[in-house]
Structures are given as structure tokens and as C-alpha cells.
Structure 1
Amino acid sequence: MPEGGSMPDRTSRLIVPIVVISGVAVTATGTYLHQLPDPAPAATAEERRPVPATTATLAPTAESLGLVRVSYRLHRIPTHASNQIAVWIEDASGAYVRTLFATSFTANGGYDRRPESLPAWRETAGWEQATDAEIESASRPAQDDGEHTLYWDGTDRDGVPVRPGRYTYRIEGNLLWERRVLHTGTIELGDAASESSAETVHLPDEARDEPVLVEDVRASFTPGEPLDPDTVTTFTRGS
């Protein structure tokens, strides 16, 4: 402490921008600005986490390009350490865009107790650093057996409309402990309608021996179609 007991000049202020996602105003990431006389200490290896890129750094379109539907058939596996799934979007370069659905156990921090739960999604999304608003928008209870459809309104994690181009949709699922399945497909967003089906990879290959959790993964895009908050209130609709 300097002579006379005065503290160094330290000031901070909180800037909290407001964004609108599907017509509802929510608080986006709070950013703290610090003015400190001394440099911040170097981060430890544990503190250095990948910062996911988003389309917010790109010039956005004036409005959403349209509506993407990601559909699949779910078969619940009657055992523990299973039935965790996450569905998310990446851009053509592999940068994270948005999470559409994540089972609430993992989305709300269950990975601390079960580190093998949905590791690909968590790393891509930088989920340990997700805001409360993002967790609330993606976290849902485990779904029942049957056909399910998730809706993406063409905006990124900050509610910014993405640019035209090719986007990747992925579904990761835990079959039993560290045994997982990953479904991956691409969809074109632009002036024309498009559709596609996903390919499936088991991680590790021995995971093929486990029961099927998710199958028949596909997506379609309808240009100019908005996400109707009166009919789709949670971004999911399932049987």
C-alpha cells in the first residue's frame, strides 16, 4: 500500500448490452473494463480456455435468412450414464455459432461430476464460459422416445443474423459413459430452399456395440420463414 494508506487508482465499470432473440429482450454478456496500474498476472494452463469464434465478428445480414429445422429420431437407452445429447451449429470454418438443444444435466454443469459427458460440444461451444441467458435458452430436460424437430432462426449465440453460406449441424450423444455417437451434416442458407442428411461416427469405434440413441438426422432450410414464438416457444417440438 502506498505511503499514507491510499489505495492505487482502480476503477471498473460494467457494460451490459441488450440483444433481442426471437422478439424477447435478454441481457447479453457483461463485459468488465478495468484500469489497473499493474499488469494482470499471466493465466495458468487451467485458466487458458479456447475462446469460440462467432459470426458476431462478421458483417451481419439485415435480417434472418430464414428457418432451419433439424430433425431426428430418439431412442432412450434404459441405463445410467447415457441419454445426454447436444445439438449445435458451426459455420463453414468450424467456428461455433449456436446451441439449439442440450440436456439439462450437462448444460447446467453436470460435466463437473461426469467429465465424459458431451465433450465435443462443450469444447466447441466453450460451454464452461456460457452466459446464463445462453444456458437457459439451450438447456432442456431429456426428451422422450420418438421424432423431434429443433428450430434455428439463423442467428448466432448473440442473436445476430448469420450471413448466407454453408453451415454444419451436429448432434453428439452419450451412449454409455465415454462411448459416444456424433452425427454431422451441412445445410446451405441463402435464397433457395435446401435439405440434407447427416453422417454418423462412433467414438470410439467400439461404441457401435451400444444401443442406438439418435438416428435419421436431417435438416431443411426455408428462406424467409421466421421463427413463430406463438407456436414454438422452446426451440423444440417432439413427439
Structure 2
Amino acid sequence: MPDRRIRVVVPLVVVTGVATVAAGAHFGYQVPERPQMSVAAGPSPAPGADDAAPAPATDTLGLVAVSYRLNRLPQLASNQIAIWIEDENGGYVRTLFATSFTANGGYARRPMSLSLWRETSGWESASQAEVESASRPAQPSGRHTVYWDGADRDGRAVPAGRYTYRIEGNVRWENRVLYTGTITLGDRPDSTTAQVEYLPAAAEREGTLLADVGAAFTPGETLDPAEVTTFTQGS
């Protein structure tokens, strides 16, 4: 695997305005005139696959919106988060969002940061295309929504069923917070609230990084790319 500790990735995050999408890549989206939003739109190749990203799946079941409130903490070794999907058996499906420091090799410098996500995703073996599809700048405090288009890391539409969404946050050094919820994809809408766990339990005293985590599924919905634009500042 290539050493990413010195890689510089200019991520694409979406703000307001007219859409600008780079050909052959899949990025996080944010929608104007709404609370802060992002979408993991399009597939990511599996580790070891060709770094050219495949075409987006067109037959997915709908759109999942994972929403949360982020409270940036004024302390070192903090404010890193990762959001990912697992199937009902705990199998890894897709990373939707990971702050760029950790996603691009920061885990080698701070191995205690987002350790559950790294273990579940096997991120050390992720392809360059997969890293770029999920890596984004650290977000400001406020309400955010990350969308999942219902495709797995290889761009295949997932089957109907129950899926687990997780948000892991690095509160301070080895202290982490983990939100876990389930959402059912099928022919009916669904919405749920995630449950929180601090790792270790004493991590709760280090501050509230994440709150109000939940998800909603809308069958057959897609995000209009005309609402999307790019933002390329952050780390």
C-alpha cells in the first residue's frame, strides 16, 4: 500500500451555487438553503482495485440521510470523525465521510484516532479512489447531514434490508464517542435515532463532540446534482 503520510489531497465538499463535478470521481455533496449537508454520491472501488472510479449505480433503493450536530472542541487531538455503513451482519459496506487528516494517513501518527472505523473498513488498504471519495475537511460546528446513495464501496446497489450506520468521533487523544443506529432500506420510508457510547466511559467528561444523531431513508429519492457546488478549502 502506498504511504499516505505525506499525501496532500484537495477534497471536494459542497456549498451553495451551481454544480461543479469532476469527471470520473465521486464526492461529498452539500445542498444550498438547507442545514449543512453532504452526500456520498457514487461508488468507491474495493482495496486493490483499479483507482479509476466506476460509474455510479443507477438502480439503488433510494437515499439515506444521516444527520448529526457537531460541536467542535477547542483542544488538541480532537474533532476527527468518520461515518460509515455496515450490513446487518456487521460486514463493512461503505465509508461516507472521514476527516481528511485521519483518512489520508493521520492514523499512522495517531493510531488511537477513529480506531473502530479503521479496523472495520480496513482503511490502511483502501485504494486512492476510495480515500478521495470519503476524505473531507474538518467541518464547522453546526447541524450536518451526510447522504448515502445506497451503493456499496464497489458501486453496486445494496439489496433491501436493515443496515447499521455509525459515527465515530475522536474527542481527545484515545477518548472517543460512537453513535450507532439502524435503518431499513426497502419500499417504505424509515427513520431512526442512534444510540451513544463513550469509549472509555470516562471520555464523556472530555466534551460533547457529537449529538442528535439519526437517519432517514426515502425510497426512490436521488439528489439533484444541479443543487451542488464545490468547496476546496480545509484539512
Judge same fold: TM > 0.5, yes or no: yes
Seen in structure 2, the aligned counterparts of structure 1 residues 25 and 124 have a Cα distance that, compared at 3 Å, is closer
Match of 1:53 in 2: none
Match of 1:3 in 2: none
TM-score (norm 2): 0.74
Q: Secondary structure at the match of 1:122?
A: helix
Amino acid at match of 2:159: R
Instruction: Kindly state the Cα deviation for residue 226 of structure 1 after the two structures are TM-superposed.
Output: 1.6
Match of 2:80 among 75, 84, 104: 84
2:67 matches 1:75: no
Q: Secondary structure at the match of 1:220?
A: strand
Distance 1:184 1:25 in 2: 23
- Gaps spanning 5+ residues in structure 2: where? 1-23, 27-39, 51-56, 231-235
- Gaps spanning 5+ residues in structure 1: where? 1-18, 33-60, 235-239
Match of 2:221 in 1: 225
Alignment of 1:204-223 (within 5 A): 204-223=200-219
Runs of 4+ in structure 1 over 2 Å off: 19-32, 227-234
Q: Secondary structure at the match of 1:202?
A: strand
Instruction: Kindly state the Cα deviation for residue 227 of structure 1 after the two structures are TM-superposed.
Output: 3.1
Higher relative contact order (CA 8 A, sep 6+): 2
Match of 1:44 in 2: none
Greater radius of gyration (CA): 1
Higher strand proportion: 1
Match of 2:4 in 1: none
- Is residue 69–residue 212 contact of structure 2 (8 Å, CA) maintained in 1? yes
Seen in structure 2, the aligned counterparts of structure 1 residues 175 and 23 have a Cα distance that, compared at 3 Å, is closer
Distance 1:89 1:131 in 2: 18
Instruction: Kindly state the Cα deviation for residue 63 of structure 1 after the two structures are TM-superposed.
Output: 1.0
Deviates more, 1:191-200 or 1:220-229: 220-229
TM-score (norm 1): 0.73
2:140 matches 1:151: no
Q: Secondary structure at the match of 1:93?
A: coil
- Is residue 41–residue 149 contact of structure 2 (8 Å, CA) maintained in 1? no
Distance 1:64 1:20 in 2: 18
Alignment of 1:71-220 (within 5 A): 71-220=67-216
Amino acid at match of 1:152: W
1:65-107 CA-to-partner distances (Å, cap 9, x unmatched) read 0000000000000011000000000000000000010000000
Amino acid at match of 1:66: G
Seen in structure 2, the aligned counterparts of structure 1 residues 29 and 230 have a Cα distance that, compared at 3 Å, is farther
- Is residue 28–residue 133 contact of structure 1 (8 Å, CA) maintained in 2? no
